[in-house]
Amino acid sequence: MALLGYGIAGRHIHSPLIQGVEGLVLQVVASRQEEAVRSTLPHVTRCDSHEAGATHPDVDLVVIATANDLHAPLAEAALKAGKHVVVDKPFTITLAEARALRALAESRGLLLSVFHNRRWDTDFQALKALLAEGTLGHVAHVESRFDRFRPEVRAQWREQVVPGAGVWFDLGPHLVDQALHLFGLPEAVSGTRAALREGAFVDDWFQYTLAYPRRRVVLQASMLIAAMTPRFAVHGSRGSWLTVGRDQQVPRLVMGGPPEGLAWHGASSPAQDGAPTVASAGDYRQYYAGIRDALLGGARNPVTPIQAVAVQAVLEAGIEAQASGHAQPLALTDSERAAFEAGVD
C-alpha cells in the first residue's frame, strides 16, 4: 500500500489502522515531512511527490489522505496506473469528479472506495441495531449532530478559503453517509450553512434537513458548542433514543493510542436510553479488513463508488439549497439511483 499525505489523517488515523490489519503492508508514504515519516515508519519508502506515490511500482493499493482538492486528480492518476484506490472523505469536491472516478474505476476493473469510517462508530452501530430490531416503531424524526468547541479560527487549510474547505465538507460527509446508510436516498435537501465565529473565512456551522416520506433527518454541526449535546436523537412511534458523547476512536488514535483494547472503543459520557445490545464495539479496522477481503477474497467493497457519489450529490444539493433558498432534489440519474438502491456497483 501507498499512503499519500502524512498529516493528522494520514499519520494518526490511516497509518495505525492499516498496520493493525493483517494482510496489509504499508510500503510507501508520500510526504515532505521526512523526519515525521522516518521516526514513525522507518521501514517504508518515502516520496516527496504525491504523484510518485500514486503511481509507485511497488504498491497495489493507494490511500489518499491529502487536502480535499487533491483527491480527484490523485485518484485519477492512481487508477490510470492500475492501482486500487481508497480516498478519505470527502470523495471529491464536485459531483462531476465523483462520477468520473467511478466510471474510470469501473472501466479499469479496479476497486475504488471512500473512507467513511464513521459507519464503524460504536454509537452508530448501536443505532443500526436498534432500527433493525424495530424497537422505536416508525422512525419519523432523527437529529444527528457533530458539535465541537473551537472558538478560534486555526491557520489550517480546512478553515481557509480553498476548494473543499469548511465544516460542510469536513463533518458533513460523515453525517450524510450515515443517514444514507440507514435510510437511503432522500427526496430533497434543504437548509443552510454559515460562518459564525469571529474571523471565520468558511462555514463553521450548518443545519440541513433530508426529506423522506413521513421522515425528516436533520444534520447539524457547529464549532461553537461547548455544552454536551445529543449525538443522536431518534424519535419513533413507540419511543425515543438519545446518545450523548462521541465515539472515542479518533481522539485515542490522534493521541497515539493503538487501535486495540476495550478502552479504545465507546463514547465519552455515553447516556443512552433503551440502547440495544451491540454484537461488537465499533472498530475502524473493519473498514480496512473489508478492503483487504474485497481485494483478496472477492468480498463486497465496504463503501462502494455509487454510495460515495450519492454522498457527493447530497453535499452539492445542500449548497444549491442555500443558494436558491429552496429544497433541492438530488442530481442523480435514474441508473445511479437504481444502482444505489440495489446495493450494486
Within a 10 A sphere around the Cβ of 331, how many other Cβ atoms? Answer: 14
Q: Which amino acid is at 185?
A: L
The answer for 281, left when phi > 0, alpha when psi is -120 to 50, beta otherwise, is beta
The pLDDT value recorded for residue 272 is 46
Whether pTM > 0.95 for this model: the answer is no
82 residue type, one letter: G
Question: Residue 266: which residues within 8 A CB-CB, separation 6 or more?
Answer: 122, 247, 248, 281
C-alpha closest to that of 105 among 68, 57, 62: 62
- What is the radius of gyration, based on Cα positions, of the chain? 20
Domain residue extents for the chain: 2-117, 119-282
Tell me 116's DSSP state: -
Torsion of CA 270, 273, 279, 280, to 10 degrees: -10
Q: Which ranges constitute the DSSP H helices of 134-222?
A: 167-170, 172-183
Choose among 208, 160, 205, 212: nearest CA to 182.
Answer: 212
pLDDT of residue 263: 54
The rounded distance, in Å, linking the Cα atoms of 109 and 96 is 20
Is there a contact between 185 and 179 (Cβ–Cβ < 8 Å)? no
CB atoms < 10 A from the CB of 4, how many? 32
Domain 2-117 belongs to what topology?
Rossmann fold (3.40.50)
What the block records as the C-alpha cell of 137 is 416503531
* Residue 76: all three cell numbers together: 485519477
Compute the Cα dihedral for 257, 260, 263, 265 and give only its sign: positive
Predicted confidence at residue 265, as pLDDT, reads: 58
| Residues 15, 20, 25, 30, Cα dihedral to 10° | 0
Contact 238, 253 (CB under 8 A): no
Half-sphere exposure of 304 (CA within 13 A, CB side): 17
Q: Out of 3.30.360.10, 3.40.50.150, 3.40.50.300, 3.40.50.620, select the CATH number for domain 119-282.
A: 3.30.360.10
What pLDDT sits at residue 282?
87
Rama region for 320: left / alpha / beta (φ>0; ψ in -120 to 50; rest): alpha
Backbone angles phi, psi at 266, to 5 degrees: 90, -175
pLDDT along the chain (345 residues), means of 10: 96 95 96 94 95 97 97 98 98 98 98 97 94 96 96 91 95 98 98 97 97 98 95 97 91 85 51 47 93 94 98 98 97 97 88
Do residues 231 and 267 touch, judged by C-beta distance below 8 A? yes
Q: State the Cα–Cα distance between residues 316 and 313, nearest whole angstrom.
A: 5
